[in-house]
Amino acid sequence: MPAPRSIADYRELARMRLHPELWHYLDDGRDTPCGRANRAAFDAAPLMPRPLTDVRGGHTRIELFGEVLGHPMLLAPLAYQRLYHPDGEQASAMAANAQDGQMVMSSLASQPFDAIVRAAERAPWFQLYWQGSREATHRLLDRAIAAGVRAVVFTVDAPVKVTALALPAQVGAVNLDAPASAVAIAVGQSQVFDGWMAKAPTWDDLAWLREHTSLPLLLKGVLHRDDAVRAVQRGCDGIIVSNHGGRVLAGAPASLSMLPAIVSAVGPGVPVLL
């Protein structure tokens, strides 16, 4: 195909080059009701032109938590990046730095945290998944902090991680402990509520996490305005409005449609990302 000129072109190039199973994993969520709602919400949100405005001296720079970025866009966390390129997360970190930008490093990174941070030059942010217990979560957080991350993005919109993708032997979440054993359930209990969700984080766990890091703490996966307010009250420094790209809860609302109410609810002093 010709040299890519748009996001759609890059998407098609990736589809052509990746194994179908990897492409399905990467593209998962796009064709769910939630994924389609995400796209429709953006299509319905026009950019209003205001001609004759004097824009000399204009720029796209933004300051977040004491860090000046060249533009208000970050690379979102993406697991197992060595599935797509042998240089994995290190290449993404270098690319973000080269564009005067920032990367959010996944808990499920396929390279060691310290190697990614060294490649970035600009210390990245860290996306933290709850590890089923406070002890295991604290160990993972300590590894990321020791590597030098700048902020913590606590992700709560995927409390249960389920995928049919079989990872190749040379790719995995190299920074995680061995998986914990499943929660045993009694007769009459729910596999969902008493099994899988028994290891999901709660508001008390968020408060505990706030006590255990002095880094900027953002809560990722907020769609309800009351949850955004409660997160700020519990000490979060920022909110990320997200439905996990439509990958987890297929019937969730479009993130963009929830953004105005959340911005209004938390007020102008709290950074809100999408």
Domain 31-43+78-273 falls in which CATH fold? TIM Barrel (3.20.20)
What pLDDT is attached to residue 188? 84
Q: What is the pLDDT along the chain (274 residues), one digit of tens a residue?
A: 789 999 999 999 999 999 999 999 888 888 889 999 999 999 999 999 999 999 999 999 999 999 999 999 999 999 999 999 999 999 999 999 999 999 999 999 999 999 999 999 889 999 999 999 999 999 999 999 999 999 999 999 887 666 678 899 899 999 999 876 667 778 888 877 877 777 889 999 999 999 999 999 999 999 999 999 999 999 999 999 999 988 888 889 999 999 999 999 999 999 999 9
Q: At what angle do helices 255-266 and 33-43 cross, to 10 degrees?
A: 70
* Residues in Cβ contact with 182 at an 8 Å cutoff, skipping those fewer than 6 apart: 195
Burial class (CB in 10 A: 0-12, 13-18, 19+), 211: exposed
pLDDT in tens, 254-270: 999 999 999 999 999 99
If residue 58 lies in a helix (H) or strand (E), which one and from where to where?
A: none
Closest C-alpha among 64, 68, 99, 93 to residue 78: 93
What pLDDT is attached to residue 162? 66
What pLDDT is attached to residue 161? 64
Q: Where are the beta strands (DSSP E) in the chain?
A: 62-64, 67-69, 74-75, 102-105, 125-129, 152-155, 217-222, 238-241, 272-273
Q: Which amino acids are annotated catalytic?
A: 244
3-state helix, strand, coil split of the chain in percent (to 5) is 40, 10, 50
Q: Under a CB-based contact definition with an 8 Å cutoff, are residues 38 and 256 in contact?
A: yes
Closest C-alpha among 99, 152, 136 to residue 121: 99
| Cα-based angle 225, 231, 237 (whole degrees, multiple of 5) | 115
| Cα–Cα distance, 131 to 141 (Å, whole number) | 10
**What are the structure tokens assigned to 221, written together?**
């996966």
| Cα–Cα distance, 111 to 56 (Å, whole number) | 43
Q: Decide: pTM greater than 0.95.
A: no
Closest C-alpha among 173, 171, 174, 176 to residue 83: 171
Token match 């600009």: residue? 122
Q: Where are the domains of the chain?
A: 31-43+78-273
What pLDDT is attached to residue 190? 85
For strand 102-105 and strand 217-222, is the pairing parallel, antiparallel, or unpaired? unpaired
- Partners of 102 in the beta sheet? 74
